[in-house]
Amino acid sequence: MQNQGPALLLKSSLNMNNQTTISKITLGTVQLGIPYGIANKSGQPSTSSSHELLQFALGNGINTLDTARIYGNAEEVIGSFEQSEQFTIITKFKLSDAALDNIDLAICEARESVRDSCETLKISTIPICLFHKNKDQAIEKVSDILPAILKVLKKEGWISEGGISVYSPAELQYIIDWETIGAVQVQMNIFDTRLLTQNLMQILVDNQVKVFIRSIYLQGLILMDENQVPDHLSFAKAPLQRLKKIAASANREIKNIAFSFVRDSPGVTSLVVGAETVGQLKENLALLSGSPLPPEVYSDILNAFKDLPEELITPALWNKNINQ
């Protein structure tokens, strides 16, 4: 019998319509398809190592995967795993700029992308499918056209539930049709608290939206020592020094604080955490079952990093980045 680990004990959501369960940790798979993250020193794992990682996830209660067609061959790696049907898989599709002004073209592009994902993942229906927004695409246009696309994909049986992966948390305020959008993926971490401070999380909670939080370590930047920060990110050194003082005062490691802050925030359904190795995943499982963050430390974080520049908290604005 497989070990029923802590993630299974902390299931965060049950969709009563399709009985989809979502573990509190969602395993991000971008690392399985491409070398990813400024702190990644091990590179892209082999297919066999990736399968070992997926097996370990299942055996320890992590039943949710996050992937996308733009993540190299990540979908192919998942599809080649014999027990992939046991996962709740989240994948994404993109639209051309022209499609945002043409609903028929948008539906065709979305259908083609989702069909290809189904074939690669070797599943007939995608449990949760998100529109993956580019930073330069107007959220107003997306908000107008996306509900119709998701309704078609759901009616045709390609997806069970639809939603959006936004570029910036502020874009959530432009979405009108929350009846169609059942899931959102958005960045939040101890350096980027806009989801909380701008009352955007309350919108999601009020509309009973599943909230998947990505970039909890800001692509690894939060875990770096200020002396290891690349020159093009030198403006991150002061916040990292401030974080080190908070961690020392709380007698906790920085990774513990970063994970616990997101885990303990109200409204969070699941934390999207990437891993290249079983060891990394074990560490995140240990963090999941750790003690709550003291309220005073949580407040210190909100106050200490509420005014950080967007150039720091947005990886796509870094000189060297992998756009999510």
Whole-angstrom Cα distance, residue 238 to residue 175? 35
Count Cα neighbours of 56 within 13 Å in the Cβ-side half-sphere: 18
Helix (H, G, I), strand (E, B), or coil: what is residue 289? coil
In the block, tokens 């003082």 appear at 245
Binning pLDDT at 50, 70 and 90, where does residue 42 land?
low
Binning pLDDT at 50, 70 and 90, where does residue 19 land?
low
Average pLDDT of every residue of the chain? 89
With 50 as the cut, is the pLDDT of residue 324 above it?
A: no
Whole-angstrom Cα distance, residue 259 to residue 4? 21
Binning pLDDT at 50, 70 and 90, where does residue 16 land?
very low
pLDDT tens profile 52-66: 999 999 999 999 999
Instruction: Determine contact, residues 149/131, Cβ cutoff 8 Å.
Output: yes
The burial class, CB within 10 Å (0-12 / 13-18 / 19+), for 159 is buried
Helix (H) or strand (E) holding 127: strand 126-132
pLDDT at 80: 96
pLDDT tens profile 244-278: 999 999 999 999 999 999 999 999 999 999 988 99
Helix (H, G, I), strand (E, B), or coil: what is residue 132? strand
Per CATH, the homologous superfamily of domain 6-317 is NADP-dependent oxidoreductase domain (3.20.20.100)
For the entire predicted model, the pTM comes to 0.90
φ, ψ for residue 136 (rounded to 5)?
-90, 0
